Amino acid sequence: MSASLPGNRELPASRYNLNTYWGRVKQSAELADPRTLLVSASGLENAKQLISAYKHGKITSMTPELWQAKKVVDSTLHPDTGQPVFLPFRMSCFVISNLVVTAGMLTPGLQTTGTLLWQITNQSLNVAINNANANKSTPLSTSTMVKSYFLAVSASCSVALGLNALVPRLNRLSPNARTLLTRLVPFAAVASAGALNVFLMRGEEIRQGIDVFPVLSKEEKSQKEKDGGEVQSLGKSKMAATLAVGETALSRVLNATPIMVLPPLILVKLQQTEWLRRRPRMTLPINLGLILTTSIFALPLALAAFPQRQAVDARTLEKDFWNRGGKDEKVEFNRGI
C-alpha cells in the first residue's frame, strides 16, 4: 500500500468515494486487477518513486500517472510492512490462483480421493493468502500457522466427505434435487472451512490485539505533514481485531457463494441440453469459463463489503481507548484482506 512508503504528505485514499459500497467496489476492482501482475520490478520502483515524490511535496496534485502508480503499489505492497506480497497470493492474482482449484473442486463425479486432494489444495492456498494479507502488527508463529492449517484442512475434508455420504441417502428427494445438492457440497465445505481458516490463521490478532490509530482531521493531517511526524498507535485492541477478522471471514464466505454456487447450477442445466450431451469434451472449458466469469465479478463485490481501513467509534472498543479518539472520537485500523 502507498501508506507504507516514506513521506509526510498522505495520498488521497482513493479516486472513489470509499464511504459508499459502489465506491469500494470500484476501488476493490483496481486492487484485484490482474494486469498489475505484469508490472516489472523497475515499473514498481518507478511507481514508488512517483508516490514518494508526491508525499514529499515534489508533485503538487494527483495526475492520471500518479493514480496508476498508486494502483500498482496498492495491489503489490503490504500496507503494514511495505514489502511486496508474494505474487500468487496477491488479491490481483486471486482469480487466477483459485481458478484451477475451484474447477477441481467443482468437477462432477469426484470420488473420495479427488475430494480430499482438492480440499487440501484449496485450504493450503487459503492459508497462504490469509497469512500473506493479514494485519502484520501481530505476527503469527510458525507452530500456530501449522496447527491452524491442519484444523482447517480437517474441517473442510470432514464437511465435504460427510455431506457426500449424506446426500445419496436422502431418498425423499428427487434424483435431480440430489444431483443439485451433490454439486453444492464443495460450497458448504469451502464456506465453512474458509471462514474457520481466517479465524485460525489470524487468531493471534484476536488474542493480542492489533494497532489502533486516531482518525485525524484535515488540520491535524496538514500539521503532521509540516512537522514530519508519523501517527502513533494508541495501543493494541482485541475488540478491533475481532471485528477485523470477523469481517474478513464473512467477506470470504460472500466471495465463495457465487463462485461455488452459480457455475455448478448452470452446468447442471447445460448438461441437460442436447448440444452439450453431444459434446461432452466441452464440459471442462465451459466449467472453467463459468468459474472465471463469476470470479471476476464476485471478488470486488465481496472485498467491498467492508472498508479495508476501518474507522469506528472509540467507545465501541476497550475502555483504554475511550476519549482518546481523533476526529469525532473515531479510531481506525487496518482490517486486512
Q: What is the pLDDT, as a whole number, of residue 240?
A: 93
Q: Which residues of the chain have pLDDT under 50?
A: none
Q: What is the pLDDT, as a whole number, of residue 229?
A: 67
Using CA atoms, how far residue 166 sits from 152, 156, 181, 261, in Å, is 21, 15, 10, 19
242 close to 206: Cβ distance less than 8 angstroms = yes
Local structure of 58: helix, strand or coil? coil
Q: What is the reported pTM? A: 0.77
- The answer for residues whose C-beta is within 8 angstroms of residue 142's C-beta and 6 or more apart is none
Q: What is the pLDDT, as a whole number, of residue 228?
A: 64
Q: What is the pLDDT, as a whole number, of residue 1?
A: 63
Q: What is the pLDDT, as a whole number, of residue 58?
A: 87
Q: What is the pLDDT, as a whole number, of residue 126?
A: 80
Q: What is the pLDDT, as a whole number, of residue 2?
A: 64
Q: What is the pLDDT, as a whole number, of residue 316?
A: 92
Q: What is the pLDDT, as a whole number, of residue 150?
A: 85
pLDDT (tens digit, 9 = 90+) per residue, 161-178? 888 888 778 878 788 788
Name the strands in the sheet holding 210-214, side by side, starting at the edge strand that comes first in the sequence: 235-237, 210-214, 330-334, 309-313
pLDDT (tens digit, 9 = 90+) per residue, 6-17? 777 788 888 999
Give me the amino acid identity at 304: A
135 close to 334: Cβ distance less than 8 angstroms = yes
Q: What is the pLDDT, as a whole number, of residue 61?
A: 87
- The answer for residues whose C-beta is within 8 angstroms of residue 328's C-beta and 6 or more apart is 215
